[in-house]
Amino acid sequence: MIPGKKKEWRGMYPGNYAGNVWQTFNIDLERSPGRLTLADKMRRVSSALGVVTKFVRTNATGTDQWFALTGGDILRNGNSIVSSGTWVTDDTTGTFNDPKDAVVHEFANGEERLLCTRATNIATLNSSGTANAWDDDWWTAVKTQAALTDNIPHPIARLQRLVAVGDKVSDVPVIHTIDKDDVISRSRLTFPANFTVRCIYTSSDRFWIGLQNDRDGRARIIEWDGFAQSYNNEYDLSGAFPLSGFIVNNVPYFITETGIIFRFNGGAFEKEQDFGLRADGISLVHSGTTLPITQYGTLVDNDIVYINIAAPTIETFNATAMPSGSRRMRAGIWVFNTRTRNLYHNMGLGEHASEGTDVNYGSFMGSAGAIAKYNAGDQLVASGSPYVGGATWQASQTNGIYIQSPNANQASNAGRNRGYFITPYIPVEDIEALWEALWVKFRRFVNSNNRIVVKWRVTEPLFNASAQDQAGNALELMNAPATWATTTTFTCKVPTGVSVGDEVEILTGDNAGCSFAISALSGTPDNSTSLTVTIAEAAPTSSTDTFLCRFDNWKTETAIDSTTIGNKKVPFTAPGHGEFIQFKIELRGFGVEIDELIPLIKEKTKTHQG
């Protein structure tokens, strides 16, 4: 029985057998304790304004509102609630277009003052000499300091009334400080030359400074109380990039490109959770400058941490390579529960720009940005750049700001969503068993269009033995570009080994997040011949875009669609022999919730000799 007698859904964990959840997409384990539920979806409220790297709230203009930093602009929404207002390019006097990081520090003219690091300078919004406007060269002109070093991060953070700024001076990584009276201590801390200051976070009485190792060695975390002449302690992490970090109950955590979440135990950083990338032989960083998690791509809400992540694929940073990547990881917002250690995909970012418009349910992203929330009851706000299809699947991305749209909202189909979860391998004590059915216990449907689709397999996942990347390495995943022809057909160079009855999952562009059973193939798949693939049901969106898809050996049974029952036995149309079974359960609609799953084995008939 899944999740077991204690009714505690657990996942994801490395390996094939741990926990109750092996993979998720648009699933929530926190909303209804004891049940697995279909998650809210994210709706785009702005586009073409850039990917936001940090959200910050301040009244430094005289108006209490939220600002958003992108790689090439500053935005504002004119509202004290991050999920409200209209995001526009900041037109405050003196604005500029190269923000790096920002923090509220002290007051001026009766309002807060905002410090913003730039490529080579530090600006202020609302200073004693420039009320409610930007002073774009405050660091060099007002404080007469040497310019910051260009082409590196300049993270900034405040501990009580002391601000720390990351920089390099003559190729030496340093921390400058600014105190409550704007007294500056240049190069207050210095570090070995093979590091770059990547990120800074603060607990109640400590700075936690993440140093990226520029020589492919181990990343380093610096602990400093802000007063000692030198930093208090240093700790090495597995991996070179401290991509992001967060503080929960005064305890620091960091995520490196290895896909491991590290937790400080009082004397060292130890592994707390794992995205499971090592099993796929990949990391969160391949090449290029775009990182899959930004410094502020995490958000703490009590025990829950939301992580906005662009899931790694080879083509994310190398568009000419054959698409591959992680089997268990999808782009979007993940949840890490620091109490239960649950780690799973929660909400995808796609092309929904209006309530009830089902373009897709979450796509792979070229880059992921910051994430924010004001109060505990507010909606999440996040930024990213999903792939939206075109002449080639990765031809176009639409960057934007997204807000959480409650799945419970049925008005005009506003919250309608699709998601799924995959169980770990469920073994049997015998060498082999005959699996015949699955009992599904669920919350009675609240909408007649709700569906639960049961899929299963008793053999290992499909892998693409003949496809190779540019380096000649074999690619395991059955990924391939394809082009929509109708709502029930598309053309594709289908990988060798795919058969009628297998599943195709759409990863990017129109209909991303949907999975379909294959009902017909126009020829024999060989990785090179373009075939017409017919799916067993119509896709939600009519399209002619090219997209990225993934083939796998899931067998689909008749969907559960009754609104009058809360449990149902789903018999397998072709019972399968195997030493394990794995289920993929797809949830569609509104408020779909799963209580438990009970796989059934056909009882053996014993022969007695007289």
The C-alpha atoms of residue 486 and residue 244 are separated, in whole angstroms, by: 42
The pLDDT tens digits for 556-572 are: 998 999 887 889 989 88
Residues 401 and 518 in one domain: no
Look at residue 20 and tell me if it is in a domain: no
Quote the pLDDT of residue 291.
Answer: 76
Residues 503, 371: one domain?
A: no
Q: What is the DSSP string of 10-57?
A: -B--SSSSSSSBSEEESEESSSSTTSEEEPPEEEEEEESS--EEEEEE
* 340 found inside a domain: yes
Q: Give domain status of residue 462, yes or no.
A: yes
Q: Give kind and range of the element (H or E) at residue 317.
A: helix 314-317
Closest CA to 572 of 606, 601, 605, 534: 601
Per-residue CA distances from 96 to 71, 85, 88, 443 (Å): 11, 22, 14, 52
Q: What is the pLDDT of residue 449?
A: 93
Does residue 13 form part of some domain?
no
The verdict on 239 and 344 lying in the same domain is yes
Query: Taking Cα atoms as reference points, which of 507, 474, 511, 479 lies closest to residue 493?
Result: 479
- Residue 342: give its domain's CATH number: 2.130.10.10
Residue 425 lies in a domain: no
**344 and 448 assigned to the same domain:** no
Per-residue confidence (pLDDT) for residue 282, from 0 to 100: 73
Kindly report, residue by residue over 34-44, the tens digit of the pLDDT.
999 999 999 99
Q: Phi and psi of 475, rounded to 5°?
A: -105, 130
Looking at the structure, do residues 451 and 529 belong to the same domain, yes or no? yes
pTM attached to this predicted model: 0.94
**Residue pair 586/38 in contact by the 8 Å Cβ criterion:** no
Q: How many domains does the chain have?
A: 2
Query: Residue 420: in which H helix or E strand, if any?
Result: strand 417-422
- E-strand stretches of 49-92: 52-58, 65-70, 74-76, 88-89
Confidence bin at 430 (pLDDT 50/70/90): low
Pair (351, 452) in one structural domain: no
Distance CA 490, CA 581 (A): 30
Is 234 a domain residue? yes
pLDDT at 319 over 60: no
Same domain, 360 and 243: yes
Residues 385 and 437 in one domain: no
Do residue 229 and residue 289 come from a single domain? yes
Domain span at residue 158? Answer: 41-405
In a domain, 312, yes or no: yes
Q: Is 502 domain-assigned?
A: yes
The separation between the first and the last C-alpha atoms of the chain, rounded to the nearest angstrom, is 37
**β-strand 426-427 against 580-589: which pairing, if any?**
antiparallel
Q: Are residues 204 and 64 in the same domain?
A: yes
Same domain? 228 vs 326: yes
